[in-house]
Structure 1
Amino acid sequence: MRVSIFITCLADQLYPEVGESVARLLHRYGCEVDFPEMQTCCGQPAFNSGYQDETREVARVMIRAFENSDYVVSPSGSCTGMMHHYYPMLFADEPEWKLKAEQLVEKTYEFSQFLVNVLGVTDLGAKYDIKATYHPSCHATRLLGVKEEPGKLLSNVKGLELIDLPKKEDCCGFGGTFAVKMADMSEAMVCEKAGHVCSTGAEVLLGTDMGCLMNIGGRLNKDNKPIRVMHLAQLLEEGVKNDESGR
């Protein structure tokens, strides 16, 4: 199958290694992976700020970019959720574009969702001797319903000690433009989240969305807490390498 990676702004600009991990893992399971260079932002920052006309133009670009893809896979529940829930609505008065938006939605998946529900993969043969905790992002769980998939993948990583994160369902305070518009509230939320992460004694914080991980990781770094933040795809890819090398 031909799978196109939707990299997202954060991964493209700040965490390209996450996209590389996604590409390598998809290739490992027989996917023909490509990267449409026409792709851009999903439009969520503009949409959340009330600029629907501008968001609509961005959405048109994204629809064209992935028009010929069999599947679209993204390392972000937030950006994938934007497409799923708001693209068809944006074109409610344009039947042709609404249909195209719905077709994009039907073939677009968050990374763990695609591995488990489309490829049927739950055990990658990964090995990682480390103590970790997992933060479930709001948009992935609440907009996309991605709840069990990351856990299924992590439960099969040999050597991984996964510690439950206290009040894991609470938002980290990022929320894209929310962190800018409501900075004081956002800071209070991420401080609380970072405290819960530290209370687990974990060496690594895992997640499926780099927006959340960037926010929490920034707080941990500011507090001089030596806890590494990793996208799920990174841990799985490194874990596969560890198993293959016998580490």
Structure 2
Amino acid sequence: MKVALFVTCLVDGLFPDVGKATVTLLERLGHEVVVPEKQTCCGQMHINTGYARQALPLVANHVDAFADADVVVTPSGSCAGSIRHQHPGTAREHGDTALADAARAVAAKTYELSEFLTDVLGVEDVGAHFPHRVTYHPTCHSLRVLGVGDRPLRLLRAVRGIDLVALPDAETCCGFGGTFALKNADTSTAMLADKMTAVATTGARVLTAGDSSCLMHIGGGLTRLRSGVRTLHLAEILAAT
């Protein structure tokens, strides 16, 4: 299968290893990965902060970049959620029915990584080996917008050598929320402190999640505390052998 990779802004700009790991993983499973060069930001940040009209050119560009793809995969529940649930509605609300229809078509073939592996490819054991103690944080968009449920955990449980431990109050938000962390810094910091306390109780040396944004937020806090806990995207663990 030919898979079009939507890299996302954060992965492209700050966490390229996540994109590389996603490609490594999909190619190991026998699939060709293409990266459309025309792709840019999906516009989620604009929509979430009230600049939906300004996001329309980004939605149109995204649709154009991935219109010919058979399937689109992204290592981000947040961006997948925006593509599936915000793009068509934003275009429709601003009177562009043609763009809304085109966005709906792209949305229908777009998957977050764990969804694609389990639901489309039908695999849980991807041949990974990662002999470390790991805990998993389910990010808000993957959990509440996409409803990925236990798909990431099923993939992690099949990793050889892993010591997977449950995260207390796992479904509690980490406090990032994109611009929420900037506009409500004190609240965000308090939520982050609770999340880091939960991580510390597990004794895990690695925290994983399906969104680089949340890992950036939590990882920054863990680094400042010199906790010794590192953050790795789900794709990076699944690509390890």
Q: Which TM class, normalised by the smaller chain length?
A: over 0.9
Work out which of the residue numbers 222, 235, 238 in structure 2 matches 1:236. Answer: 238
The corresponding residue for 1:119 is 121
Q: Deviations over 1:132-171 (max 9, x none)?
A: 1000000001100111210111111122111110110100
**Structure 2: runs of 5+ lacking an equivalent:** none
User: SS in structure 1 opposite 2:162?
Assistant: strand
2 CA distance for matches of 1:96 and 1:57? Answer: 13
Q: Which one of 164, 172, 175 corresponds to residue 170 of structure 1?
A: 172
CA deviation after TM superposition for structure 1 residue 48, in Å? 1.4
Find the partner of 2:190 among 188, 191, 200: 188
Identity of aligned pairs, percent?
46
Q: Does 1:90 find its partner at 2:95?
A: no
The answer to whether structure 1 residue 102 and structure 2 residue 96 are counterparts is: no
Does structure 1 conserve the Cα–Cα contact (< 8 Å) formed by 2:29 and 2:126? no
Tell me how far apart the structure 2 counterparts of residues 171 and 147 of structure 1 sit (CA, whole Å). 15
Report the TM-score, using the length of structure 1 for normalisation: 0.95
* 2:46 is equivalent to residue 49 of structure 1: no
Work out which of the residue numbers 149, 165, 168 in structure 1 matches 2:151: 149
1:4-23 equivalences in 2 (<5 Å): 4-23=4-23
- The residue number in structure 2 matching 1:222 is 224
Q: C-alpha displacement at 1:72, in angstroms?
A: 0.7
- Kindly report the root-mean-square deviation, in angstroms, between the aligned alpha carbons of the 2 structures: 0.9
- Higher mean C-alpha displacement, 124-133 vs 189-198: 124-133
Task: Note the C-alpha offset of 1:94.
Answer: 2.1
Runs of 4+ in structure 1 displaced over 2 angstroms?
none
SS in 2 for 1:21: helix
Q: What is the rounded CA distance, in whole Å, between the counterparts of 1:213 and 1:15 in structure 2?
A: 10
Where do 5+ consecutive residues of structure 1 fail to align? 242-247
TM-score, normalised via structure 2 length: 0.97
For 1:104 and 1:200, locate their aligned partners in 2 and report how far apart those are by CA, in whole Å.
39
Pick aligned residue for 2:215 from 203, 213, 216: 213
Q: Displacement of 1:32 after TM fit?
A: 1.6
SS in 2 for 1:218: helix
Q: Which deviates further from its counterpart, 55-64 or 122-131?
A: 122-131
Which whole-Å CA distance do the structure 1 matches of 2:169 and 2:197 have between them? 11
Q: Identify the residue that residue 137 of structure 1 maps to in structure 2.
A: 139
SS of equivalent to 2:68 = coil
Partner amino acid, structure 2, of 1:173: G
Matched, 1:199 2:201: yes
1:244 corresponding residue in structure 2:
none
Distance 1:229 1:156 in 2: 19
1:76 to partner: Cα distance: 0.3
203-212 or 125-134, larger mean C-alpha shift:
125-134
In structure 2, C-alpha distance between the alignment counterparts of 1:76 and 1:101, rounded to whole Å: 18
Q: Is the 8 A contact 2:45 2:178 kept in 1?
A: yes
